[in-house]
Structure 1
């Protein structure tokens, strides 16, 4: 079941780049046996970040506020990308429960979109944003 979900996430995030001062692709991950107590410390450990890293939790819609909503100044390519981001957000919401978005670090920020699969594993997407 979890593998089907990661496949759906791969398909819906393919060719999309997270827009910031640099554009980064999305990577799909699946962590089994971690859902019982995913603490901030555990997240930092699983993602190989120092335990004193800065961690911020944001809403899914906030993360995609600049890419999943059409703007009147968008060209055709941007409008198509907005639809792809909307599909990605919907795929996340349809397949994962208790979705949380964590931003780790400052300036070069690692982003993890994490949710629980119906079978109790943790799956999601990681990407990066650069904010100076």
Structure 2
């Protein structure tokens, strides 16, 4: 079951870049860890120091700009918005307790993680730069 989720996430995020001051691709994550994901557990799973800053935001807030079509968008930009909307739908349809964990302050590692039907953890990671 986890492989099909990984495949779906890989397909939905293929060639999409998360826009910040650096444009970064998404990487698929699957962890067999069970139970609720806490910021402390996330830091442990991602080998960050235990005192790293973690901010938890909703998936909708995290992807708000990427999934909002604007009047001034050209066809390619509208297509990218549709792909981000599809990515968010894929995440929501396959994962429960979905959250975005932002680790760090200027160079941020973002983890979009939820619980699979089998109880494992899966999602995507990307990098952001915000100065």
Normalising by structure 2, report the TM-score: 0.97
Distance in 1 (CA, whole Å) between partners of 2:72 and 2:34 is 42
Q: How many residues align?
A: 131
Q: Which runs of 5+ in 2 are unaligned?
A: none
Question: Any idea what SS the aligned residue of 1:87 has?
Answer: helix
**Counterpart check, 1:8 vs 2:8:** yes
Pair 1:96 & 2:113 matched: no
1:111 corresponding residue in structure 2? 110
Query: Which residues of structure 1 form unaligned runs of 5+?
Result: none
Runs of 4 or more consecutive aligned structure 1 residues displaced over 2 Å after TM superposition: none
CA contact (8 A) 2:39 2:101 kept: no
Shift of 1:35: 2.4
In structure 1, distance between residues paired with 2:104 and 2:25: 18
1:42 CA drift (Å): 1.4
Scaled by the length of structure 1, the TM-score of the pair is: 0.96
List per-residue Cα deviations over 1:76-125 (Å, max 9, x = no partner). 11100000000000000111111011000011000000001001110000
